[in-house]
Amino acid sequence: MPRRKGSLKTKIVILMSIILTAICSGLGLMAYHNIYNSLSGNIEEMLPKIALEAARLIETKMSSQINSLEALASNEKIISFGSTQEENPGIEALLNQEVKRQGYKRMAVVNAHGYAAYNDGQKADIKNTDYFQEAIKGENFISDPIANGEVNNIEMIFSVPIKSGESIIGVVAAIRDGYELSNLAKEISVGKTGNVFIVTSDGRTIAHSNKEILSNLIKINTGGTATVSSATKAAGAGEIGVVSSATTTHESNGEESENKNYNVIKERMIKGETGFGEYEYNDVPMYLGFSPISYSEWSVAVQVEQGELLSGLSILKRDTILTSLIFLILSLMVVYFFAMRITKYLEKLKYYTTLLGEFDLTFEISEELLKQNDEIGEMSNYFRLFINSVHNMVTSIVNETQKVNALVAMSHQNIAALTMELEDAAATVQELSAGMEETASSTEEITATSNEIESAVETVAVKAQEGALSADEISKKAVALKDSSLKLQTGADQTRLTIKKSMDEALEKAKEVDKIKTLSEVILQISSQTNLLALNAAIESARAGEAGKGFSVVAEEIRKLAENSKSTVKEIQDTLDVILKAVENLANSSRQTLEYIETKVVDSYKESVLVGENYDQDAQSISYWATELSATSQQLLASIKTVSEGITEIAKAAEAGSEGTNHISYKVSKIKDKANEIKLETDDVKASADNLQGLVKKFKV
């Protein structure tokens, strides 16, 4: 027989390994791709939203500065300066007060002709500056941050018109620290590697959350620029030129090659778009979200390194590979055991075919094979049908042989006794041989089975002991759970009572607000009476003529004081109403909290106590069962060892019987030799022998 190149089991395992590897790899790659796309989509949606919120924050900050200047521009002293264009000593004091309050570097009031009076006493003509030209037209103006001759000295200028009725009579201007925009950008935190920066409509970077980067830009682009004079500072002339170099775009710094795709994104920012983009900075991939800022032609950008935002994908990739390997190994184990099950049946069928090839028809096909509900079961049943057919054929041959023997007996009386002896001996040898073979085969199978049972029983005993130990541990943990739950339940009740007591005391104290409201009513009545007295006093002073003028002034002041008192008491009453509503809402919230503790938290702890008791009872039952199982397993193991020893003795007896069978076979062989010697005398059996030969030809060798 030619040697096989590979078993069917090996081929099945290899084929299924390839298929499962391809499936796991495909599913892993698909999951990674889908999650990558989903995460990228979320990032693409998130960064523009963050940029939009940053833009709103900056808009709010700029708007508050403009509102503050507009409020100052409506001051009577400021309006008077713009109308009369006369110097007023009170202007400087007012401006200095506002500089201190708002944190300005300098402030100026400018008349309609561009003549500016600064808070430090300086005067200048600024009619040609952008911030004056825009404000005198009625527009609020915010300048870009501008360099003032030093790296760490950049400024922003805010200006608003001064209006008298519908006429614009001047301008209020304020100078702030230009780094405030960068400080504001720094407050917007995005991850560990995130940065926020602001660019203008011509692509210049004017603020950056990393001040060092902005300072480097200024150092690079202000080289050789002369410091402006104080007069120029006051007028604002010449500062715009410095700005152009102080906030030069990335290209002028030679960074274009280090910022791949940045120019494309910058063009979108210049157009005032809100969106998302990707670029590389020093070969580091970056994500960028951007949004325009109202009140200006600026655009704010939020950038984060891709590696930080996609760091979860590395963990996902590792977990996906690990999970795929685990499932692949488990699947291969299942395939291996499945292949073993199939090949086990095929090995049995191969063994039967080997016996058939040796013309041995004494075997019986296993019932396990015949009961299979698949192709193996069908093959086994057809194979049994074939064996039965062959057996019937052999039976027919035996019958023909008996006829031949009968003819031989009739023709040759001298060999009748010999034939009888030969048949008896042959039958005895066949039966004894078959019995010995079956006995030997059965003892081997029983021995193997008993060894497997012995091993299994030992394993059961060990596992039962381990189960008993585990049950004891579970019981201890259940008792601990019950005790912990009881403590937590007691704590929850104490907390509930404490909260209720505190809430009742707070509500009782809140009733004092009603007394304040009552007192405000009394003050309101007093102010009404005071107003009435002031009116009477005014009437009396009018009657008195020139002598009552001084009293009339006092009466007017008393009337104003009464009106102010009435207005103040009204505001106090409105505030008290808000406070009372807030106290009522607080009381309702506290009651809901107490109700939640009573109905949810305490009940949950009670259920935890009950669960701990149930776990304790179950663990004790498992421990008792495991102990009984261990004892029973030990008894069963002793019985199996006794049976195994008996089977060994049977095997020895079968071996001795086999030796006796061989001796008998030798004797029968001698008898057959004698029969062959007289075969020449059986000429009359030729016809029956021919018939027998025809039946034998049905076998395919």
E strand or H helix at 620: helix 602-677
Helices (H) and strands (E) in the chain, counts: 18, 13
* Residue that has been written with the tokens 């394993």 in this structure: 459
Q: Which amino acid is at 123?
A: K
Query: Using CA atoms, how far apart are residues 504 and 497, in angstroms rounded to an integer?
Result: 11
* Second CATH level (architecture) for the domain 39-312: 2-Layer Sandwich (3.30)
pTM as predicted:
0.43
Tell me if 47 sits within 8 A of 305, measured CB to CB. no
Measured CA distances, 81 to 95, 119, 394, 698 (Å): 13, 14, 138, 135
Q: Are 55 and 292 in contact (CB under 8 A)?
A: yes
pLDDT at 326: 86
DSSP H helices, 247-293, are 262-270
Of the candidates 438, 457, 479, which has an alpha carbon nearest to the alpha carbon of residue 633? 457
Give me 219's structure tokens: 């150092």
Query: Which one, of 177, 174, 183, 130, lies nearest residue 155 by Cα?
Result: 177
Closest by alpha carbon to 330, among 27, 26, 25, 24?
Answer: 24
pLDDT tens figures, 438-460: 766 766 776 777 677 677 667 76
- For position 96, what pLDDT does the model report? 92
pLDDT of residue 226: 30
CA distance 375 to 387: 18
User: Which tokens go with 124?
Assistant: 């200048």
Instruction: Look at residue 151 in the predicted model and tell me its pLDDT.
Output: 53
pLDDT of 337: 78
Give CA angle at 58 (56, 59), nearest 5°: 60
Residues forming a β-bridge with 175 = 106, 157
pLDDT at 664: 64
Q: Looking at residue 180, what is its pLDDT?
A: 85
Residue 520 has which token pair?
A: 């405000």
DSSP letter, residue 147: E
- Whole-number pLDDT of residue 529: 78
Nearest to 238 by CA among 247, 246, 229: 229
Residue with tokens 């029968």: 668
Question: What angle do the packed helices 416-510 and 375-411 form, to 10 degrees?
Answer: 170
Q: Where are the domains of the chain?
A: 39-312, 361-411, 472-673
- CA dist., res. 604 & res. 84, Å (int): 79
Question: How far from 670 is each of 196, 393, 502, 665, CA to CA, in Å?
Answer: 111, 28, 118, 9
CA distance 329 to 333: 6
pLDDT at 560: 78
- What is the per-residue pLDDT for 225? 34
> Which class is 472-673 in CATH?
mainly alpha
Residues of the chain with pLDDT under 50: 1, 3, 223-257, 699-701
Torsion angle, CA of 680/683/686/688, rounded to 10 degrees?
-100
- Whether 198 and 205 have beta carbons less than 8 Å apart is answered as yes
User: What is the three-class DSSP state of 299?
Assistant: strand
Alpha-carbon span 157 to 147, nearest angstrom: 12
